[in-house]
Structure 1
Amino acid sequence: MPDTQLRPLRAFAESLRLDQVNLTERWMRAVFHDTELSDADRLTYEQLSDHIPAILEEICGALEEQDLDQVEPAIERNARKHGKLRWRQGYRIDELVRELDLFRQMLAGQIVQFSESRPFFTRRHEERARHFIDEAVSFVTLTSIREVLTERDRKIDEYTGRLERANHELTLKQRLVGDLYESRMQITRSVVHDLRNFLNVFSMALQLMSRAPAKVEAALALANRQAADMKALVDELVEYSVVLGDNHQAAVECFDLRGLFDELVASCSPAVEAKGLRLTAAFDDTLSTIVSNRLKLKQVALNLLTNAAKYTKVGQVELAMTAAGEDQWRLRVSDTGVGIGASDRERVFKEFERATGDDIPGAGLGLAIVRELTRVLGGQIRFDSNEGEGTSFEITFPVRLEAREGGEGGPA
C-alpha cells in the first residue's frame, strides 16, 4: 500500500501515543463512575490501569502498519495478563466485557475528534481506524474472557481435588471409627469370654473344696493357676493400652546391645527351662552400641520370647541378634512349637487373634504389641512358620534410630 495512504492512520496512532496518559485517566474515570462496574470501586489506580497502556500501544502499532496479525502475539500476552488480574480481583465476565467496551467507546470518540480537526483524515480513514480498533478490542475481550474461564476451571479443579481428598480422608476416618468400634466390641467379647472361663473354673474349685475336703489342696492349686492366668490377661491388656496411648516422641539413647541381649537371656531362661525347653542364644560380636529406645526393644523381644515359650511344648526357643549391613541389625526369635497355619497368617498380628484354641492363656495381644512397637522403632518385621514345626520371627532395626515427631517409625 502506498505510503500516502498510510500516513493518516499513522498520524492518528501518533496522536493516541502522545495522549496516552490522558486517555488512560479518562478511561479509568469512566470505569469508576460506571454503575455496572461495582467491583472496580475496590481497585487502586495501579490495579485498574495495569495493562491498558500496553494494549493501547499495540493498537497504535496495528494502525500504523494496518496489519493486526503483526501485533496479535503481543496483544494476546497483555490480554491474558489483563484477564488473569481481573479474575484475581473478583471481576465477573460481564464486568470485564463492560470495562473493555468503555475502552473501545473512548477510542471511537478519539477517531471522531481527530477527524474533525484534520481534513486529510477522511471518512474512509475513519472506517479503517474503527475497523482495527474494533478488531483489536474484540480480540482483547475474547482472550481475556478465555483466561478468566481458564483460571476459573483451574480453581474448580483445585477445589474439586481438595474436596476429593477431604472425602477420602473422611472415608478413612469413618472406616477408622468403624474399626475402633469393632475393636472395642472385640475387647469386650474377648475379655468377657476369658473372664467367664476363669470364673467357671473358680466356681468349680470352690465346689470341689465344699464337697470333697480331702481335695482342698488340688482345688487351691487350680484356683491359683486361674488367678495367674487372669493376671496375665490383665497385664497384657494394660501393656497394649499403654503402647497405643503413647503418642510422645520415642526417646532414643545410645546403649550396649550386648548388655540388653544378656539381660533377655537371664530373664527368660527360667521360664523356658521350667517347661522343659532349651534356650539357645547367639550374639554377633560385630554389633556394639546402637541408638534406639532400649525399653521398647526389650518389650518387643520379651513378647516374642514369651509367645515362643507359650506355644512350644517340646524342643527349643532361640534368641539371636545379628548384623544386617552397616546401618541395620536383626532380632531373631524362633521356636519348635505348634506353628501358624496358612489360614491364620493374615490375622496373626491383629488384636485378640490367636492361632490356636482356647487352651493357651492370654488375650492374643502379644504380636499386636510387637507390630506397633516395631513401627515406632523404625523396624520391618517378617515371619516364617510351618504348622506343627515351629515359627521364626525376624525384625530388622536401624542401628541409629532418628527421633521423629510423634514417635513415628518405619513400616512394620
Structure 2
Amino acid sequence: MAKPYGPMRLFADALRRERVNLTERWMKAVFDDAELSESDRLTYEQLSDHVPAILEEICSALEEQDLDQVEPSIERNAKQHGKLRFKQGYRIDELVRELDLLRQMLMGAIVGFAEGHPVFTRRHEERARHFVDEAISFVTFTSIREVMTERDRKIDEYTGRLERANHELMLKQKLVGELYESRMQITRSVVHDLRNFLNVFSMALQMIARAPAKTEAALALANRQAADMKTLVDELVEYSVVLGDTSALAVQAFDLRALFDELVAACQPAIDAKGLRLVHGFDPGLTMVTSNRLKLKQIALNLLTNAAKYTKAGEVEFQMRARGDAHWCLLVSDTGVGIGAADQERVFREFERANQDDVPGAGLGLAIVRELCRVLHGELRFASHEGAGTTFEITFPLHLDHDS
C-alpha cells in the first residue's frame, strides 16, 4: 500500500524538479573549489556522470522513507562514479571532497524547502538530513572502495607486467650468456682446427723440402687437410647463414616426390662409395606439400650426410611417410656408431659430434637441423644406442602457413 502524500514526499518532488539546477550548482562549486584540481580537466558530461542518477535515487529514498529499497541502484551508480573518477585521475581526498560538496548542496536544499513550507517540520527536516547523510555516506564509501579496487587491479596489472618483463629479461640474459658461450666455443673450435691444419700442412711442406722422394705422400696429406678445412668452412658458412636469416619465411606448394628423388640421387654416390646400402621408400599417399623446399632439402641432406659419416658398415635408411591428415614425416636411420645415453642431451649443440677423430666436419650438422626444424614447425625426435645406430624422425605440417 502506497504511503500518504506527506511532507517528505513533497520535498522529494521538489528536489526532483530542481535536480538539474542542483547538479549545475554542484558542478560550479566543484569547478570553483581550489582543492579539486583534477576537475578542471573534465568536461560537463564527464563531471556530472552518475550524479543525476544518484540524486534520483535519493529522491526515491526520501519519497519512500526507505534507503534499503534503492541501495542496489545507488551502489551500482556509485561504483561507476568511483571507477570513472579513478580513470580521470582523481585522488581519494578529491573524490571525498566533491561528494561532500554534493552533501552540502542537498543540506542547503533541505533548509530552503523547510523555510518555504511550514508543513515540513523540524522532525521532517531531521529525517531528510538523515536520509541524505546516509545516502551520500554510502555513495562515498562505495566510490572509495571502487577506486581502491581499481587501484589494486592496476597495481596487479603493473606487477604482472613487471614480472613478465623481468622473466623475459632473465631469459634474454640467459640467452645472451648461452650465445656468448656458443660464440666462444666456435672460436675455440675453429682456432683448434686451424692450428691442427697449419701444423699438419707445415709438416707436409717440411717433408717435401727434406725428403723429395716423399713428395707424393706429403701432397696427399696436405690435400686431405685442405679438404677437411673446406668442410669446416662450409659448415660454418652454412650455420651462419641459417642463424642470420631474418627474412620472412618463403613457402610454396611443391611435389614432395620430386624432392625425395633428388635427395636420393644426390646421396647415393657417397653412400655407395663407403660400401653402404641406401634403403629408401616414399609413401604414395604423399603428393603436394606447402613449405620451404630449400630448407627441407637442407635438413634431409644434413641428416643423410651425418648418417653416412658415422656408419662404417651396413645401411642408411631414408623414408618420407604420411602422418595423419595434416602432417608428414621424414625419417633417416643408420647402423652406425650410435650415440651413448650420456651424450644424447648435447647432441644438437654446436661442435658436438661422435668421438671419432677420423670424421671430418665441425659438428654443426645437427645444430643446423634443429634450427631449421624450428623455423619449419618440425617436431624432431631421435633414438640412438651406442654401437647400434641412430634414427631421426621429423614430423612436418603438410601445409605451413605463410605467416608462420
Distance 2:2 2:311 in 1: 107
**Residue 347 of structure 1 aligns to a residue in which SS?**
coil
CA–CA distance in structure 2, aligned partners of residues 3 and 222 of structure 1:
115
CA displacement, residues 83-102 of structure 1 (integer Å, 9 cap, x when unaligned): 11111111111111111111
Checking the alignment, whether the CA contact within 8 Å between 1:338 and 1:390 is kept in structure 2 is yes
Matched, 1:369 2:372: no
Distance 1:283 1:53 in 2: 77
Counterpart residue identity of residue 48, structure 2: S
Cα displacement (A) at 1:363:
0.8
Give the C-alpha shift of residue 3 in structure 1: 6.0
The 2-side partners of 1:2 and 1:193 are apart by 100
Which residue number corresponds to residue 264 of structure 1? Answer: 263
State the AA in 2 paired with 1:199.
L
Opposite residue 310 of structure 1, the aligned amino acid is K
Query: What corresponds to 1:146 in structure 2?
Result: 145
Q: Secondary structure at the match of 1:356?
A: coil
CA contact (8 A) 2:254 2:288 kept: yes
The Cα shift of 1:157 comes to 0.9
String of CA shifts for 1:154-184, please: whole Å, max 9, x gaps.
1111111111111111111111111111111
Partner of 2:40: 41
Which digits, 9 at most, give the CA deviation of each residue in 1:375-406, with x for residues without a partner?
222221111111111111112222222222xx
Pairing of 1:342-381 with structure 2 (within 5 A) = 342-381=341-380
Q: Are the aligned partners of 2:383 and 2:392 in contact in 1 as well (CA < 8 Å)?
A: yes
Partner of 1:245: 244
Structure 2 matches for 1:116-265, cutoff 5 A? 116-265=115-264
CA 1:239 to 1:65, structure 2 compared with 1: closer, same or farther past 3 Å? Answer: same
- 3-state secondary structure, aligned to 2:345: helix
Q: In the TM superposition, what is the alpha-carbon distance from 1:281 to its structure 2 partner?
A: 2.1
Q: Which digits, 9 at most, give the CA deviation of each residue in 1:323-346, with x for residues without a partner?
A: 223332222211111110001111
Deviation at 1:142, TM superposition (A): 0.7
**Structure 2 partner of 1:275:** 274
Secondary structure, aligned partner of 1:346: coil
Distance 1:72 1:2, change over 3 A: closer
CA distance in 2, matches of 1:326, 1:54: 60
Distance 1:356 1:2 in 2: 98
- The structural deviation recorded for 1:243 is 0.9
Whole-angstrom CA distance in 2 between matches of 1:130 and 1:354: 88
2:386 is matched with which residue? 387
Partner of 2:294 in structure 1?
A: 295
Q: Distance in 1 between matches of 2:38 and 2:127?
A: 34
Distance 1:128-1:273 versus aligned 2 partners, 3 A rule: same
2:86 is aligned to: 87
**What is the CA RMSD across the aligned residues, in angstroms?**
1.7
Contact 2:282 2:319 in 1 (8 A): yes
Deviation string, structure 1 residues 172-220 (Cα, Å, up to 9, x no partner): 1111111111111011011011111111211221222222221111111
C-alpha offsets along residues 5-45 of structure 1, whole Å, 9 cap, x if unaligned?
x7121111111112112111111111111111111111111
Q: Distance in 2 between matches of 1:286 and 1:134?
A: 81
Counterpart CA distance in 2 for 1:46 and 1:277 is 85
Q: Which runs of 5+ in 2 are unaligned?
A: none
- Equivalent position SS for 1:235: helix
- Could you tell me the TM-score, scaled by structure 1's length? 0.94
One-letter identity of the residue aligned with 2:137: S
Quote the Cα distance in structure 2 between the aligned partners of 1:91 and 1:325: 60
Query: What's the counterpart of residue 99 of structure 2?
Result: 100
Q: What amino acid maps onto 2:27 in structure 1? A: M
Change in 2 beyond 3 A, CA 1:330/1:117: closer
Q: Does structure 2 retain, via aligned residues, the 8 Å contact 1:187–1:352? A: yes
Q: 3-state SS of the aligned residue for 1:355?
A: coil
Distance in 2 (alpha carbons) for counterparts of 1:274 and 1:216? 27
CA distance in 2, matches of 1:353, 1:2: 90
Residue 52 (structure 2) pairs with residue 65 (structure 1): no
SS of 2:6's equivalent?
A: helix
Partner of 1:398: 397
CA deviations over 1:225-264 (Å, ceiling 9, x no partner): 0000000000000001111111222222333222222222
Q: 1:290 to 1:110 in 2, by over 3 A?
A: closer
Residue 313 in structure 1 maps to residue 307 in structure 2: no
CA contact (8 A) 1:341 1:355 kept: no
Amino acid at match of 2:271: V
Q: Which amino acid aligns with 1:125?
A: H
My pick for the range that moved more, 36-45 or 259-268, is 259-268
Unaligned residue ranges in structure 1 (runs of 5+): none
Aligned-partner residue type, residue 325 of structure 1:
G
Matched-pair identity in %? 76
TM-score (norm 2): 0.96
Contact 2:79 2:142 in 1 (8 A): yes
The one-letter code of the counterpart of 2:35 is E
Task: Give the Cα–Cα distance (whole angstroms) in 2 for the partners of residues 272 and 308 of structure 1.
Answer: 9
Does structure 1 conserve the Cα–Cα contact (< 8 Å) formed by 2:3 and 2:64? no
Alpha-carbon distance in structure 1 between the residues aligned to 2:106 and 2:286? 85
- Alpha carbons 2:311, 2:336 under 8 Å: kept: yes
CA change 1:128–1:325 in 2 (3 A) is closer
Counterpart of 2:280, as a letter, is A
Which residue number corresponds to residue 9 of structure 1?
8
